[in-house]
């Protein structure tokens, strides 16, 4: 039973364009959502997060949108750069629970 789903295994975009990565969740107890980025042979690194009391959080080129009624969040990267090419994981936690539940990841390729 996958509680966090990333239905697109891969995404390819042109440099300078917008990348939109999607994530759906089923557990209504989740109230904190995170995106992690992972390069090959490295551990995931934290990118951006959002609390369920917000519907948008922005950090530079990265914006996360949360639609609680749809149990859906998305990560927007504008403009996309070749260095953004990596696997992006969506993760969620419930309350102040440390336990993160991860999706399977989406491989983003940004073409020069």
Partner 1 sequence: GAGVSQSPSNKVTEKGKDVELRCDPISGHTALYWYRQRLGQGLEFLIYFQGNSAPDKSGLPSDRFSAERTGESVSTLTIQRTQQEDSAVYLCASSLSPRGFNEQFFGPGTRLTVL
Residue ranges of E strands in the chain: 4-5, 10-14, 19-25, 30-38, 45-51, 56-59, 62-67, 72-77, 86-94, 101-102, 106-111
Q: Is 104 in the site for partner 1 (CB under 8 A)?
A: yes
Q: Give the footprint of partner 1 on residues 9-38 (CB under 8 A).
A: 32, 36
Kindly tell me the burial class for residue 21, based on how many C-beta atoms sit within 10 Å of its own C-beta (0-12, 13-18, 19 or more): buried
Helix (H, G, I), strand (E, B) or coil at 35: strand
* Shortest Cβ 60–partner 1 spacing (Å): 17
Q: Is 4 in the site for partner 1 (CB under 8 A)?
A: yes
Q: Is 89 in the site for partner 1 (CB under 8 A)?
A: yes
* Shortest Cβ 82–partner 1 spacing (Å): 22
Q: Applying CB under 8 A, which residues contact partner 1? A: 2, 4, 6, 32, 36, 41-46, 49, 51, 89, 91, 93, 96, 98-105
């Amino acid at each position: 039973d996958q509680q966090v789903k990333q239905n697109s295994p891969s995404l390819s975009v042109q440099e300078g364009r917008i990348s939109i990565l999607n994530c759906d969740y089923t557990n209504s107890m989740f109230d904190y959502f995170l995106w992690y980025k992972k390069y090959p042979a490295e551990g995931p690194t934290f990118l951006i997060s959002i609390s369920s009391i917000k519907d948008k959080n922005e950090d530079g080129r990265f914006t996360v949108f949360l639609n609680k009624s749809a149990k859906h969040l998305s990560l927007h990267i504008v403009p996309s750069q070749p260095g953004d090419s990596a696997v992006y994981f969506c993760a969620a936690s419930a309350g102040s629970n440390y336990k993160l539940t991860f999706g399977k990841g989406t491989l983003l390729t940004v073409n020069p």
